[in-house]
Structure 1
Amino acid sequence: MSITLLIIAITCVTSFLALQNLKMMNELILWPPAVSAGKQYYRLLSYGLIHADFQHLLFNMITLYFFGSEAERFYTRQIGSVGFELFYAGALVASILPSYLKNRENAAYRSLGASGAVSAVLFGFILLHPWSTIIVFVLPLPAIVYAGLYLAYTFYLSKQGTDNINHSAHLWGAAYGVVFAIALDPSLLGSFLNQLANPRF
């Protein structure tokens, strides 16, 4: 079994169990005071194994399924057999860290879901293949166009702050996915710019 499928399986099982068990959900969710005061640092990772509902889980895991294999191959080549696991775990921490630091003393704050890490996987893929096609519902879009629309929409919603979605994690996850890949292989930036200059639909 690939690491991508293993992550999906673990996340699905943990999410399903937590949705049926409030105590388990509360023990895994990112609750900043539990990290800052209780030293429960595992929550900076475990929050990504649980989801608010089935739709939330389904969207994240479908995205991870379609784009994770390419990321897994890249990070295995760059870092070795545990490359993708290290990248994914780092993405979970990096995407939530700004939200955690902002809400360190906020006992009312909670965050959960793998969206930040999934954004890192997706934007790493877009860096590698900017002109590949991404299907958004039924609309085919070039990956780089989707990236621009996604970032603009997510940034707008993060400023509005009118829903319960952690858009900040999506943005930081996307940034992490791009920066981490370029840090490992700086030639990716030149390759990306060259691909942008030579569109292939």
Structure 2
Amino acid sequence: MTQTLGDFVDISTGYPFRGRIEPSKEGEAFVVQARNIGPDGEIFTDSLVCSELTGKKDPGWLKFNDIIFLAKGTKNTASLVKDLPDNTVCSPHFFRLRVKASKQKSVLAEFICWQLNQEAAQRYFKVSAEGSLQVSIRKTILQDTSIALPDVATQNSLVELHRNVIREKKTYEKLIENRQLEMAAIASVLLKKPMTTDEQNDY
């Protein structure tokens, strides 16, 4: 029997803002927008804007271990909610996914999030996207995403492996950044004055 995402999570839309999301010091909610999502799905909390909630719909505050899925645009990234303010919503560009109460003991939200970002799911989203000026994924398409669900122990192992990969990636990126800064400093010295033999030996 094929298992789909809709078997494990409840899916709802992001908050329906009317028009642009305008920053407001008196706003009652922080808003996660597409610009706040990093390449690996991390949510950049430092750049969240505070805004007024227009309309009367229930805010649908994001909770710990919710998943937000970027449904509009060409990069359909899934992000796990971790350390966000309690009064945070996501924009209409997202769907909010929450593991069903009946599945809490057998399904890890972080594992579902990881699987949605893998090649098989991303390929499915790419061929299923609709629209011309701006492509998007419909809710029914997202619900029908095929999901492989091993036992919880295996889910935990894969999640931990993924965390290690992300940590290693960030470490290497930092090393590369430091090396680039070092090379830029060397270039700056070279442009200012000829290097002596001793200076060349230092490098």
| TM above 0.5 | no
More strand as a share of residues: 2
Q: Which has the larger radius of gyration?
A: 2
TM range (shorter): under 0.3
TM-score (norm 1): 0.25
Specify which structure has the higher proportion of helix: 1
Q: TM-score, normalised by structure 2?
A: 0.25
